[in-house]
Every structure is written in structure tokens, then in C-alpha cells.
Chains A and B, each alone.
Chain A
Amino acid sequence: MGNRNIENECWKVLGEMSDIAEVYILLLQGAVLLSQGNALDAYKQQTTLLTKFMDVMKEQDFPWMMQTLHRIVEDTRTVAIEADKEVARTKGHSDNDNLRDCERLLKLAFTFCVTDRKSIRDQESKKSGFLHIVVVLFKTYFQLNTLRLCKNIIKSITRPGFVGEEDCFAKSDLVTYKYYVGRLYMFEDNYAEAEAALSWSLRHCHARNPANKVRVLNYLVPVKLARGRLPTPALLRRYGLAHFEGLVGALRRGDLRGFNRALDAHQALFIAHGTYLILEKLKVLVYRNLFKKIHLLLGKHQIQLAYFARALRWLEVPMEMDEIECVLANLIYKGFLKGYISHTSKVLVLSKKGDAFPFSAIVQ
């Protein structure tokens, strides 16, 4: 159908609803452009559509309109991504210009909803619809790698007026929102908050959507590991998280060689997920568990460093004395190990007061 035909048909059918007719014209024209492979023009059309639809909603607000706004918001992002792909094909590379422009529009849509004067509990309030737009915004920020901008959004929606009003939002939007918040806290090395958000997300995932549970677990497992909590092999098997199996086993055993191998084997995957750096830091826990085992085996509180050297040689990860002292210094500094090193005697002296390997130091 040509553009003129689209216009004629819409006016014919919707003539008395001129605003809606305009919206449909923009929608259909955009769809045609996209199907013709003209993503750049389709995106321009989409931006006009989103702006127009918000104008329409200001004047007449029907219950079905919020869902439509959500759909238009999602489509705007999808088309922006296609437009950037088109740029990449023709120019050879893309700076995500369309997606960045889209982010600006999404913020307008967010502000449009969140500044509605009606109370969030009012059935007619636009406020109850903003969380879905936040979720689309977060996806955009994660894709553009501008995560700091998420913080501004979080700040503006965790004001007293909204805290505790979670039952006003769609559960699926809350689950996704908390998933992204959990990932943000993880990147900031705030594992306690990350665990809280991701755990909430996992508990409230729809039972019939295991794929979403897997998505959450790919971040919750590393976060829990960082706090010293190991998942059961059964859990990893049930959700197809085989890439964590070697790592978890090595961590439990204090097996440095196994840990290094497991981390290397799935490095590309962990980097792609964004969890490589947090998992890499678990090495210090492997050392802790290894040295704790040596302590338990010897049953002593004064352990010659030569024993650690021997264990590491046996694990095929030989280390000279200076390096072992460095590892021990880090463990002591972090509080994972209570004791001190006598450099001249080449001995580790463990504390006899309480637990020399306090678990509480790990859970922070």
C-alpha cells in the first residue's frame, strides 16, 4: 500500500477520530518503511509517532492507551537498534546515534508518566505505567554502557511517594526492574544489595518461565559466591548452569588449579555476561579454603610456609615464598585469615582466639 492509500484508508475508517487516525497513519507508514529495509526513515517515523501519541494521551486518556504507549516505546527502541545496524552496514561502523536519540525520547515518556498529578493508586493515573518504561530505559543504558544514568532514574522513583507502592505495578516489570538493579549493584561491588534485588527477582519470576530464572541466576550465583555461599550441584544442573560447575567445585575444594582452568574454560561467556571480574576475585576464597584445609590437616596454629609451597606444587601451581607471603598478607588484610606472618621464621601464626578463618569476614 502506498503512503497516500494508507492515509486515505485511515481517514475513511477513523475520520471522526482524527488524532487516532493520525497515529495509525504514522504507525502504518513506519511499518512499511521498516519492511522495505529503510530502518533509518522508519526510526524517524517512530519518533514522530511516540511524540504524537503522548500528545494524544494528554487530551484524551483511555485505559487501553498505557499499554499502547508501552508497545510504542518498545518498538521505538527496536527500530532504533535496526537503524543503527543499517548505519553500521553502510558506514562500516555505528556510534549508536539512533539508540542514543531513542534514550532521550524514552526519558520524555518516563517523565510524561511520572509527573502525572494523580495519585499512583488512582485508576486513571499514568504513574502506574512508568515502571515498564524504566525497564526499557535500563535495557537501553545497559546496551549503550551508560550505566551511571540508571542511577538518576532510580533516584527519582525511589522517593517516599513510591516506596511501598510496589503492588501498583505489573509483577513482570518489577521482576525485570529488580534484575537490572541487582546487576547495577553487582558492578559496584555492592554484593549485599545485589543479592537482595536479584533474590527478590528470582523468587517472583513466573514459574512457567525458567529462561528468566536462568537469566537472574547467571548473576545471582556469582554474587552469592562472592559472599561465600555455594549453590548445590542440583541447582546448577536444573537450570543448565554448567559453566559454574567447575568453578564451584574448585572453590569448595580449595583447588587452585581447577579454579584457574574453570575460569579460563568459560572466560568468553563470563566476559559476555559481565560476571568475569567478580568471579575472578573468588580466587582469594580458593586460597582461603586451601590454606584452611592445610591448617585442619596439620592441626597446628604455627604453620611453616613450606607446607603451603608444597601444596601449591602438588596442585601444579608452584609459587615462590615471596608470592605466598603476598597471598597470605592479602588474606590477613581482608580478615579472611586471623594471624600474622613471621618473615624471619617463615611461619604463619594463626590466632587461637576464636575462628582463625572467620566466615563472617566473607559475608560483607
Chain B
Amino acid sequence: MKVKGTCVNLEKRYFRLTSAPDPSTVRPPPVLEEAMLRLKKLWKDQEKDYEYVCDQLKAVRQDCTVQQIRDGLAVDVYETHARIALEEGDLNEYNQCQTQLKELYASGAPGHEMEFTAYRVLYYVNMQDNQKNQDGSTEMLKMLKALRPAQRADPAVAHALRVRQAMAEDDYHLFFQLYEDAPNMSAYIMDLMLDKIRVKALQRVVKAYKPTIATDFIQRILAFDSEDECFELLTVVGVKFAKSDGSLIDCKTSTVDPAAWQKFKFEKEKGSLL
């Protein structure tokens, strides 16, 4: 359906469409541009919460879709929503935007293609482990195959590719170096991988070091924000301490159970919903 909108409202609730919309309810490009300026300001100034901004952005996206707007305006809408969704950890919404952006860039629409290509690489890296038993590494290879040399050379994309490499090699040292130097919003996606790489690192540490390893060494190399955060993970997975003050990990008696951490996180998140 293609519609020519006439609505001039900057604010509009999102409703799922079941038929062609009334043109008087659809906003034309100039109005959408104004609506976007308004939403960006609201978000930046923290005047409205994510639920509101997300709803409004979905309405803008819908107005673009029904009018078949696929130019720089559409790109700006999806890029903005993708960035805000990343900030909020809304992966579902982010993924929808990411998918649309890929098609828009492919059709020649101008935008921050390199920035979002980097995010897409990281998103794939995060998804890959979950897909391990489905298509193995073929999705990753397909993605690598599709990258053009210019994309590969872009600093943000190159960074993302090195993150992929670090995860593939279980190179936790490299991962956390890259985490520290993450461009744009790449760190938000890397946050999703933190637990995985930290647990893997601990599995290796308790097996590799003897007789003990200093806890603050672990806190440093695994980039924990605080001592408490570090201790929480260590104790949940089954790490034992050689000193009662917790400053030394006893590698011989320690075990690292990834399932224990997953369960703990699940319970914690469940608790925060009640």
C-alpha cells in the first residue's frame, strides 16, 4: 500500500495496521522530520521514558513504510531508533531496525553504514553461540563473505571483526582490550557477551594457575567495574578462596559452573520484575 499523508501532528501513537490507513492520519516527510527532531530532543533531555519514545518512533517508522519512504529520512529514523534501543538493551527492537537498515543501505540510501555494519557483526558474534547447533558457523561465514573491502577496512568494522576473532579464540585479554576501546556504541553490544567471556576466562584461569591467583588480578583483566561485582560472579560459579578476606583464589579447589551463573542471572532478573 502506498499512501500520501496529510496529517500535521508531531505526536502520534503507534497502532498495528490491518488495512490501508486514512491519509489524514499519516504524516508526510516534512512533518516526520519535525517529529524526529522533537523525539531526539525529548530523549536527549530525558523528558520522556523509553516506552513513550519507542512507541512514537514505531509510529514514525510506520508512516515511512506506508508512504514507501526509503531515503535518508527513513535511514535516520531507523538509525535513531536502533541507537536508542541499544542504549536500553531492547534487542528485539534493535534487530528490527538493523534488518531494515541493511536493506536501505543496500538500495543506496545514505547513512552511517559503517557504524551499523560494525553493530551487525557484533550482533552476529553474540548470536552465534546460541545458534551453534543450528547452522554452525555458516551464518558467520555468510556475513564475512558479504563484507566489502571498504567495510572491512573501516575502523569500527575492523574493531568488530577483532572482537569476533577474540571470541573465536577465547582470547579474553584481547576482548577486554577491545572493550576498552570500543567505538560508537559497540560496547553496548559487547556488554551482552561479558558474562560468557568472563565465565570462559575463569574456567581457564582456575585450571592454568597454581597454587593461587590474586583476586584483584582477575578483577583487572576481566574489567569488572567493582569488587562486589567481581565477587558476586566468582562465588556464584563456585570459586573458592585461599584467604578469608577473599584476596586469593584457591585454584585447586575452585570449580567454574557456567550453568550456575545463568541460573543466578535468571533468578535475579525474574526477581527484579516482581
Q: Nearest 9 pairs between A and B by C-beta?
A: A187-B136, A329-B208, A326-B173, A340-B210, A329-B204, A333-B204, A332-B208, A323-B173, A277-B137
Interface of B is mostly: helix
Task: Give the distance to chain A from B191, nearest Cβ to Cβ, in Å.
Answer: 21
The segment from A132-140, A268-276, A293-301 that touches chain B is A268-276
A127 an interface residue at 8 Å Cβ cutoff?
no
Interface residues on A, range: 20 to 34
B210 in contact with A342 (CB, 8 Å): yes
A277 in contact with B141 (CB, 8 Å): yes
Complex A-B: 9 CB contacts under 8 Å: A93-B106, A145-B138, A147-B138, A326-B172, A326-B204, A330-B204, A332-B208, A333-B208, A342-B210
The segment from B5-13, B32-40, B73-81, B213-221 that touches chain A is B213-221
B169 in contact with A283 (CB, 8 Å): yes
A328 an interface residue at 8 Å Cβ cutoff?
yes
Instruction: Report Cα–Cα, A210/B142, bound state, in Å.
Output: 28
B165 an interface residue at 8 Å Cβ cutoff?
yes
Instruction: Report Cα–Cα, A149/B213, bound state, in Å.
Output: 47
Instruction: For A349, give the chain B residue with the smallest CB separation.
Output: B210
Point out the residues of chain A lying under 8 angstroms from B210, CB to CB.
340-342, 349
- The residue in B106, B173, B201, B208 that gathers the most chain A C-beta atoms within 10 A of its C-beta is B208
B272 an interface residue at 8 Å Cβ cutoff?
no
B172 in contact with A276 (CB, 8 Å): no
Interface of A is mostly: helix
Point out the residues of chain A lying under 8 angstroms from B141, CB to CB.
271, 274, 276-277
A188 in contact with B171 (CB, 8 Å): no
Q: B165 contacts which of A187, A280, A328, A330 (Cβ < 8 Å)?
A: A280
B207 an interface residue at 8 Å Cβ cutoff?
yes
Instruction: Report Cα–Cα, A332/B204, bound state, in Å.
Output: 8
Instruction: Report Cα–Cα, A126/B67, bound state, in Å.
Output: 54
Q: B134 contacts which of A148, A271, A284, A344 (Cβ < 8 Å)?
A: A148
Point out the residues of chain B lying under 8 angstroms from A344, CB to CB.
214
Point out the residues of chain B lying under 8 angstroms from A333, CB to CB.
203-204, 207-208
Instruction: Report Cα–Cα, A14/B170, bound state, in Å.
Output: 68
B165 in contact with A147 (CB, 8 Å): no
B127 an interface residue at 8 Å Cβ cutoff?
no
Given contacts A329-B204, A330-B204, A343 and B209 within 8 Å (CB-CB): yes
Point out the residues of chain B lying under 8 angstroms from A272, CB to CB.
145
Point out the residues of chain B lying under 8 angstroms from A271, CB to CB.
141, 144-145
Task: Give the distance to chain B from A127, nearest Cβ to Cβ, in Å.
Answer: 30
A277 in contact with B172 (CB, 8 Å): no
A160 an interface residue at 8 Å Cβ cutoff?
no
Instruction: Report Cα–Cα, A3/B208, bound state, in Å.
Output: 76
B173 in contact with A277 (CB, 8 Å): no
Instruction: Report Cα–Cα, A326/B169, bound state, in Å.
Output: 11
Given contacts A322-B173, A326-B172, A343-B214, A274 and B138 within 8 Å (CB-CB): yes
A116 an interface residue at 8 Å Cβ cutoff?
no
A92 an interface residue at 8 Å Cβ cutoff?
yes
Q: B144 contacts which of A147, A276, A284, A327 (Cβ < 8 Å)?
A: A276
Which of B101-156 touch A at CB < 8 Å?
Answer: 106-107, 134-142, 144-145
Point out the residues of chain B lying under 8 angstroms from A322, CB to CB.
173, 221
B107 in contact with A328 (CB, 8 Å): no
Point out the residues of chain A lying under 8 angstroms from B142, CB to CB.
145
A330 in contact with B170 (CB, 8 Å): yes
B17 an interface residue at 8 Å Cβ cutoff?
no
B168 an interface residue at 8 Å Cβ cutoff?
yes
A93-B106, A280-B168, A341-B208 given; name 17 further pairs at CB < 8 Å.
A145-B142, A146-B135, A147-B135, A148-B135, A189-B137, A271-B141, A276-B144, A277-B141, A280-B165, A284-B169, A322-B173, A326-B204, A329-B205, A330-B169, A330-B204, A333-B203, A340-B208
Task: Give the distance to chain A from B173, nearest Cβ to Cβ, in Å.
Answer: 4
Instruction: Report Cα–Cα, A318/B248, bound state, in Å.
Output: 30
A341 in contact with B169 (CB, 8 Å): no
Instruction: For B214, give the chain A residue with the smallest CB separation.
Output: A343
Point out the residues of chain A lying under 8 angstroms from B203, CB to CB.
333
Task: Give the distance to chain B from A328, nearest Cβ to Cβ, in Å.
Answer: 6
Instruction: For A272, give the chain B residue with the smallest CB separation.
Output: B145
Point out the residues of chain A lying under 8 angstroms from B145, CB to CB.
271-272
A92 in contact with B208 (CB, 8 Å): no
Which of B196-249 touch A at CB < 8 Å?
Answer: 201, 203-205, 207-210, 213-214, 217, 221
Task: Give the distance to chain B from A364, nearest Cβ to Cβ, in Å.
Answer: 16
Which of A339-364 touch B at CB < 8 Å?
Answer: 340-344, 349
B168 in contact with A326 (CB, 8 Å): no
B3 an interface residue at 8 Å Cβ cutoff?
no
Which of A306-346 touch B at CB < 8 Å?
Answer: 322-323, 325-330, 332-333, 340-344
